[in-house]
Amino acid sequence: MALRTINPTSSKAWKELTAHFKEMKAVHMLDLFAKNKDRAAYFSIVFNDFLVDFSKNRVSQKTMDLLLNFANEMDLKEAIEQQFSGEIINQTEQRAVLHTALRNPKNDVRINDRPTRIPIKRGLKKIKRISKTIHNGKWEGYTGKKITDIVNVGIGGSDLGPKMIVDALAYYKKEINTHFISNVDGDHVQEILKKLNRETTVFIIVSKSFKTQETLQNTATIEQWFLQKATILDIQKHFIAVTNNITSASAIGIPEDNILSLNDWVGGRFSLWSTVGLSIACSVGYKKFEELLEGAHQMDMHFKNEPFNKNIPVVLALLSIWYNNFFKAETEAIIPYSEYLDKLVPHLQQAIMESNGKNIDRNGNTIDYQTGTIIWGATGVNAQHAFFQLLHQGTKLVPTDFIGFVKPLHGLQKHHDILMANFFAQTEALLTGKNDKDLMHKGIPSEIIPYKIHKGNKPTNTILISQLTPKNLGALIAMYEHKLFVQGVLWNIFSYDQMGVELGKQLSTTIIEDIKGEKNNPHDASTKALLSFYLKNKD
């Protein structure tokens, strides 16, 4: 059955939320805290190693009740069931969406009566075999040497997810070094190749379609570099492919045994849990990869089974809709207080913005309300010294997620206490602010006082996790995946296609004809002038 197609703005709850917003827009959160001593406990959810405190949001109990009514009126529960049971909810591409099945290989979800468990288990078996053989030194390169380096060659979902996880789990890394080549920028490829030894490197070419220009060009350059010293026959010891297009992978000489398949019900930006995760297993070992999957699975079960008022992804999605559609906040920031999570934001940018940046609803109509939020951020405390001024005193409302860990990995407790003191201080400052009464007694000249005032009342979610383990990381990523799904359902859009990226890709293939001098395609005046400048000056 297809997802329901209710226009959210026509729902009773939306109308009530619109009226309620007028009551809430000027309310300071400090007054809400003053009125309810239990607010922090009441607006928090504990799940496994997670404490999610959403009490520092501009919501009352009535706001939460109305948001929850909205989710119910939009039949969210039914949509969740439809996703987990393998229904064709990616209607525009006629596909099921089953990254959740990848994290639960024991349960056989069927798509049109075809089992998913068999390909999932087959993929896991291959990941296990390859990563183990590389780790125990039995995978030998063409001169008989052990493998020391792995290179993931892919872009978008075939790069960002595994790259983010490999970085995030660097503490658990085995002896193998893992690199990522994504950009078609030749300088990127060269910089990585110059660090590598052909005899001890395995390249994993990751492309669901095996048609992506950037990945194919990078692969061709890498193969050329490899063949400067090795032979065609050596390719089987140094090249692996992960794809849904086995024919094209075979065509570039990768033997079938080195090809890991990727099912069409796994979207690129949700594919790190699939065979695309091979580089993760090569970096941290198969067992840790399984723990990552298990953590995500536990979050899946939380999302599927918990009532909405205690359901982390649902609550976060509803809060985000409250700011996006009623306060008209355009962006959301995500600030992880861990350098290991440096690549979390780029990964979530793709997951969230490629999914929910849509302007046509599930009825085929143009949308007249806001959808996908703009996601940005950086690690704390670096971000505090960069853009936090705008969060504190700027004119824009930026709801922000703060992610922190109770225990550090390396045990430098003094550092961790300072890091976490900053973590707590920021959400407190954003909540309470500083008013002129606080400042007047401090001998500050009166004309300077306005510049020092912080109004506070800036919404934040605090996601406090016991430690950065593979399991908790899996749960964290799954949490955001479900959050974006809920938002897509409630905005009545299709979250699982990405047709907006196609036009630019098509135009680049015509422009390359112009650059090669094969054609003189028509372009707008600006593009034409830019191209002509490039052609004149490039040699």
**Residue tagged active-site, from 25, 138, 195, 505:** 505
CA atoms within 13 A of residue 270's CA, in its CB half-sphere: 29
Q: Which helix (H) or strand (E) holds 72?
A: helix 61-73
Q: How far is the CB of 449 from ligand F6P (least distance, A)?
A: 50
Q: CB nearer to ligand F6P: give 320 or 350.
A: 350
Residues 6+ apart with CB under 8 A from 348: 334, 375, 480
Q: Quick one: CA torsion of 441, 442, 446, 451, rounded to 10 degrees? A: -120
Q: How far is the CB of 265 from ligand F6P (least distance, A)?
A: 14
Q: CB nearer to ligand F6P: give 73 or 93.
A: 93
State both tokens at 391. 């969060």
Binding site for ligand F6P (CB under 6 A): 154-158, 207-209, 212, 215, 268-269, 354, 498, 501
Q: What are the distances in angstroms from CA 522 to CA 390, 517, 527? A: 43, 13, 10
Q: CB nearer to ligand F6P: give 90 or 432.
A: 90
Residue with tokens 């990254």: 99
Q: How far is the CB of 184 from ligand F6P (least distance, A)?
A: 12
505 among known catalytic residues:
yes
Please give the Cα distance from 170 to 288 (Å, whole number): 12
Q: CB nearer to ligand F6P: give 353 or 464.
A: 353
Q: How far is the CB of 508 from ligand F6P (least distance, A)?
A: 12
Please give the Cα distance from 292 to 271 (Å, whole number): 13
Please give the Cα distance from 435 to 344 (Å, whole number): 35
Q: CB nearer to ligand F6P: give 157 or 277.
A: 157
Per DSSP, 352 falls in state: I
354 among known catalytic residues:
yes
Please give the Cα distance from 436 to 452 (Å, whole number): 8
**Residue tagged active-site, from 290, 354, 416, 481:** 354
Peptide bond into 381 cis (omega under 30): yes
**Residue tagged active-site, from 22, 37, 385, 441:** 385
Q: How far is the CB of 223 from ligand F6P (least distance, A)?
A: 17
Which residues are annotated as catalytic? 354, 385, 505
